[in-house]
């Protein structure tokens, strides 16, 4: 842009010098044109900027990996004057890995109704794609005059794995009843069992009548009924290597496949992952298609972090509320098999057939 401005000023200075030293009709007309054409371009450019507005809309908020991201961008102004040149700088950021892609998009304005341009890109990976509208630059026909506008707009697109055949109505499984035990002294849940006293039991839980006739103290075991869940544990460890994004896509695909299968059986399901940003477990519960889609969006919004699988495992060992459920771990790492956890390594196992056969 600056080179064009310098070249134009140098050209005008040269023609002015020619008119000073040589009185010639052709040189005079050349000077008139060199002043009149940019003046016309400037007027047109100024009219196009009057009440300039930019509208951004996403056709679909959720797409599959084999679909296109379609963002509609439309600009309008107060007068029916087409913008000479307009360009939009956008930044594309994945929530889970924080990788940036920057693009320049041409945009035109034509009066009050405007005209639009569509960004149609095929996403490379699953995840939450944040499309930031960064700056909007307007130039005249000769690209001598320019102005940049800041435009803070963000559009989020959820890119799901290719498998999207989840059509179950959902509903909770009517299987064996599970109970969550309670040891609180002021518990008011139902009595589930009578058992011998152990260290840490509250004195007001002792059943004195039965204890008198026994050689040991008998206590009431309180607790409440739990819904039976299927836990899908998702390993979101940030691994080194250029193929990590491909591995992460396979983890998402396996998790989504597991969600489809469990819901098709009529179960209540949870995605559980370690959220490095908050430093705690993140759980997303669902029992229907709509809830499953929201849960998958929540899962893909979590940024991958170092040692996420180790932290996930340690947190689960100290959190009673996730115990007693059928559990499957989706990972791309070697994992020592734990009792009660079915492990699927997306790099080694045929997870698609294995998950459907669980």
Under a CB-based contact definition with an 8 Å cutoff, are residues 80 and 108 in contact?
no
CA atoms of 274 and 310, how far apart (whole Å): 9
pLDDT digits (tens, 9 = 90+) for 60-84: 888 888 888 888 888 888 887 777 8
Confidence of residue 168 (pLDDT cuts 50, 70, 90): very low
CA atoms of 203 and 41, how far apart (whole Å): 90
pLDDT digits (tens, 9 = 90+) for 107-165: 766 555 556 677 777 788 899 988 888 888 888 888 888 988 887 788 889 999 875 44
pLDDT digits (tens, 9 = 90+) for 2-48: 788 888 888 889 888 888 888 788 888 888 898 999 999 999 889 88
Question: What are φ and ψ of residue 210, in 5° steps?
Answer: -75, -30
CA atoms of 164 and 252, how far apart (whole Å): 12
Please spell the DSSP secondary structure of 248-286, one letter per residue.
HHHHHHHHHHHHHHHHHTT-EEEEEEEETTTTEEEEEEE
Per DSSP, the three-state class of 203 is helix
From residue 355, alpha-carbon distances to 14, 33, 224 in Å are 77, 74, 31
CA atoms of 205 and 185, how far apart (whole Å): 7
More confident residue, 223 or 155: 155
* Mean residue pLDDT across the chain: 81
Residue 1 has pLDDT above 70, yes or no: no
Q: Which domains does the chain have, with CATH numbers?
A: 1-160 (2.60.40.10), 181-225 (no CATH), 229-356 (no CATH)
pLDDT of residue 40: 92
Q: What percent of the chain has pLDDT over 70?
A: 85
Mean pLDDT of 208-212: 87
Residue 169 has pLDDT above 60, yes or no: no
Confidence of residue 175 (pLDDT cuts 50, 70, 90): very low
pLDDT of residue 321: 72
pLDDT of residue 352: 54
Residue whose token pair is 């047109």: 44
pLDDT of residue 19: 85
Under a CB-based contact definition with an 8 Å cutoff, are residues 28 and 58 in contact?
no
Under a CB-based contact definition with an 8 Å cutoff, are residues 337 and 331 in contact?
no
pLDDT digits (tens, 9 = 90+) for 292-332: 889 999 999 999 999 999 999 888 887 777 766 778 899 99
pLDDT of residue 110: 59
CA atoms of 328 and 202, how far apart (whole Å): 36
pLDDT of residue 102: 85
């Amino acid at each position: 842009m600056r080179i064009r401005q310098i070249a134009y000023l140098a050209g005008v200075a040269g023609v002015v010098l020619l008119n000073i030293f040589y009185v010639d009709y052709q040189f005079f007309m050349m000077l008139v044109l060199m002043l009149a054409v940019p003046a016309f371009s400037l007027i047109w450019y100024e009219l196009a900027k009057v009440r300039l507005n930019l509208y951004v809309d996403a056709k679909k908020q959720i797409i599959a990996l084999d679909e296109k991201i379609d963002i509609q961008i439309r600009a309008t102004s107060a007068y029916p004057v087409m913008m000479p040149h307009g360009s939009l700088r956008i930044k594309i950021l994945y929530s889970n890995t924080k990788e940036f892609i920057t693009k320049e998009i041409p945009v035109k304005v034509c009066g009050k109704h405007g005209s639009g341009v569509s960004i149609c890109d095929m996403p490379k990976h699953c995840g939450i794609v944040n499309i930031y509208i960064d700056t909007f630059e307007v130039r005249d026909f000769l690209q001598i005059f320019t102005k940049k506008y800041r435009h803070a707009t963000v559009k989020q697109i959820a890119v799901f794995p290719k498998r999207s055949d989840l059509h179950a109505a959902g509903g909770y499984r009517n299987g064996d009843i599970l109970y969550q035990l309670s040891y609180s002294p002021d518990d008011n849940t139902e009595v589930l069992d009578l058992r011998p006293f152990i260290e840490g039991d509250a004195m007001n839980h002792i059943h004195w009548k039965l204890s008198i006739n026994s050689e040991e103290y008998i206590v009431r075991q309180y607790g409440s009924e739990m819904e039976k869940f299927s836990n899908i544990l998702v390993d979101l460890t940030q691994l080194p290597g250029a193929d990590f994004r491909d591995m992460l896509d396979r983890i998402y695909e396996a998790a989504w496949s597991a969600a489809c299968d469990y819901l098709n059986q009529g179960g209540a399901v949870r995605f559980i992952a370690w959220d490095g940003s908050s430093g705690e477990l993140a759980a997303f519960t669902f029992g229907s298609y709509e809830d499953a889609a929201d849960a998958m969006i929540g899962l893909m919004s979590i940024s991958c972090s170092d040692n996420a699988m180790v932290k996930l495992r340690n947190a689960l060992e100290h959190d009673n509320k996730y115990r007693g459920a059928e559990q499957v771990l989706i990972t791309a790492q070697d994992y020592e098999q734990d009792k009660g956890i079915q492990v699927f390594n997306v790099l080694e196992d045929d997870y698609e057939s294995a998950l459907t056969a669980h």
